[in-house]
Amino acid sequence: MMGPKARLQPRGPSRKSSSSSTLIFSMLIISLFFILILLALGILSIPTNSINSPTANDLSSIIQRVTDAAGSEVSDGGADHWAEVISWEPRAVIYHNFLSEEECEHLIKMAKPHMVKSTVVDSATGKSKDSRVRTSSGTFLKRGQDETVRAIEKRISTFTFLSVEHGEGLQVLHYEVGQKYEPHYDYFLDDYNTKNGGQRMATVLMYLSDVEEGGETVFPHAKGNISAVPWWDELSACGKEGLSVKPKMGDALLFWSMRPDASPDPSSLHGGCAVIKGNKWSSTKWIRMNEYKA
C-alpha cells in the first residue's frame, strides 16, 4: 500500500529529455548552416551529371564503339579519350587521343612517298599557288582510301555530327624546322572554290606527331584569356600570340569556321607556328556545308 507521500503525479516531459532534443536540433541547424557556407564558397559541390563532370565528356565508349563499328584492327592501347572545349570564339575543342599511334604512323607512311610543297588558294582566281606564307609539304589522300582512312573518317563524322560525304580527302602535312603556315581562314573568299560542296564550315586537325618545340596551332583572334591554358609556359613566342594548341600525337582539334547561323567566323583565323625543334606531322580534314564530290 502506498502512503500519502507516495501519491503518483501525472508525467509531463522531463526537463532532461527536452534539453537534449533542443541540443540535437541546434546542432542540425548549425551543421546545415555550415554546409551552406561551404557550398557558397565552392569548397563543397553537389554531384550532378552536367557537362562539366569528367564522365560527361569521357569519350572512351564512343571511340570504342566507332572503332568496333568500322571494323578497325588498330588497338589504342587503352589510351584515355576525352574532350576539352578550349574556346567559344572560335568554337574549338580538343579530342584527346582521337587517333591511335598505329593510325598516325599509317597515315604518315601512306603520305610520305607523295609529299610535295604546299600551296595556298589565290583569292583572286581561286587557283592554287606557291606561297611563302605556307612552307610545309603535303599531299591529299583519297576519301575512303583504305580501311584505316575509312575508320578515321567515320570517327570524325561521329564527333562532328557532319556526314563523311561533306568531307574533303584527308590532307597530310609535314613541317620541318623553320616551316610554318601563316594565319589564314579556312573559308573561301572566292566563288571558284565553293562550287563543289559550298563553304568549309569546320576543320579537324589531327596531330600525327609530337613536336619538341614550336609548331603550335595558333588562333590570334580568339576571345578570352589566352594565357589560361595549362601549357602556356611551354609555348613558343609565336604560340603566345593567341590561343594555342600544342601538337600531341593522336590528339585532334576541331574548330568551326562558320558560326551557327552559317556566317563566316573571323575569330577562326589560325596558323601553324614555325617548328623550332623536331618535326611536325599533321592531317587536316576540311568539312563543307554540302556534299563534297570527291
Ligand X SMILES: O=C(O)CCC(=O)C(=O)O
| Bond before 113 cis per omega within 30 degrees | no
Closer CB to ligand X, residue 74 or residue 211? 211
Closest CB 186 distance from ligand X, rounded Å: 5
Closer CB to ligand X, residue 70 or residue 240? 240
Closer CB to ligand X, residue 156 or residue 205? 205
Closest CB 173 distance from ligand X, rounded Å: 6
The residue number whose beta carbon is nearest to ligand X equals 272
Contacts of 269 (CB under 8 A, 6+ apart): 183, 184, 185, 219, 220, 221
Closer CB to ligand X, residue 149 or residue 211? 211
Closest CB 138 distance from ligand X, rounded Å: 8
Closest CB 46 distance from ligand X, rounded Å: 40
* Residues found near ligand X in the complex (CB under 6 A): 173, 181, 186, 205, 217, 270, 272, 282, 284
Closer CB to ligand X, residue 100 or residue 118? 118
Residue 188 and residue 264 in contact, taking contact as beta carbons nearer than 8 Å: no
Closest CB 274 distance from ligand X, rounded Å: 11
3-state helix, strand, coil in the chain (%, to 5): 30, 25, 45
∠ CA 55-57-60, nearest 5°, is: 80
For 178-187, b where at least 16 C-beta lie within 10 A, e where not — what string?
A: ebbbebbebb
Q: What is the DSSP letter of 232?
A: G
Torsional sign, CA 260, 262, 267, 269: positive
